[in-house]
Amino acid sequence: MAQQLETIDETITINGKTGQYTGSAYPITSPGWNIIFGYDPHGRGILRYSDGSVYDGQWEHSNYSGSGKYTSKDEEYVGSWVDGLKSGHGKLITSDGQIIYDGWFANDKRSGAGTLNYVQTGVSYTGQWSKDVPSGKGTWKWADGSWWESTWGGSNGKTASGSGRTRRLFANGDLYEGETTNHEMTGTGKVTLSSGEVYRGQVKNSKRHGQGSFKTLDEMLYEGKWVYNNKSGRFRITDLAKGKVRHRNY
């Protein structure tokens, strides 16, 4: 005879933690005996643990499964569960409300697309995650209005990794678009200054370094070799407004 779900209000133990369960469950009995040894939560129910934490949601054979909310002294999670683990879309908030993650989970860790907000500092990250850290394409933003769009990695997910493309807006309004190497703006890129002046060419450690051109607001174009933001050697200088070209050694 198939087991029938019952509505109970009983003290149970799940994964070594004891609490008061209210909801639907299968009775656990021994074959041939009409004696109930315990209960297997299944369906909708609330488990209030003795340590003060609470799970309110769907169950599947004693595991959180489906949609549910788990609240502890440290954090609150509302979202999807699979086999007792956070999996699917959910929202995780620390108990003080200062750190909020809204996105995807896999095997109890932030994985996939998601947004992390540090409320007090105004810092946020939106992008890809893997095993609880930013990993892949994403954008960090800061309270001063600056942001950095790149490919992220490293143990804390705050390292612009590889030689991927980067777009970074600085607090002073300067914008860099180009390559990143070892968390530095190094490679080939374009720098648009807040003044409107534009540099295109090689960069090293966020500075003009190597071959490149610099266009000023008065329509002058300087082409040549740069050494840490300074002109070096022979330059071609073009007055774009008049179409005149001259050369100068620096």
168 and 241 share one domain: yes
Residue 167 included in any domain: yes
Q: Which domain holds residue 150?
A: 89-154
Q: Residue-wise over 6-15: b if at least 16 C-beta within 10 A, else e?
A: eebeeebebe
Mean pLDDT of 44-49: 98
pLDDT digits (tens, 9 = 90+) for 190-237: 999 999 999 999 999 989 999 999 999 999 999 999 999 999 999 999
208 and 225 share one domain: yes
144 and 192 share one domain: no
Residue 108 included in any domain: yes
Distance CA(234)–CA(121), nearest Å, equals 47
3-state secondary structure of 83: coil
63 and 93 share one domain: no
Residue 1: which pLDDT band, with cuts at 50, 70 and 90? very low
**pTM (two decimals):** 0.87
Number of domains in the chain: 3
| Domain harbouring 240, CATH code | 2.20.110.10
35 and 115 share one domain: no
Torsion of CA 33, 37, 43, 44, to 10 degrees: 140
67 and 96 share one domain: no
Of the candidates 110, 106, 111, 107, the one whose C-alpha atom is nearest the C-alpha of residue 92 is 110
93 and 60 share one domain: no
Q: What is the pLDDT of residue 2?
A: 56
Instruction: From 136, 154, 172, give the residue that closes a domain.
Output: 154
224 and 172 share one domain: yes
Residue 81 included in any domain: no
Rg value, the chain, Cα: 29
Residue 198, CA atoms < 13 Å, CB-side half-sphere: 7
Instruction: From 154, 180, 209, give the residue that closes a domain.
Output: 154
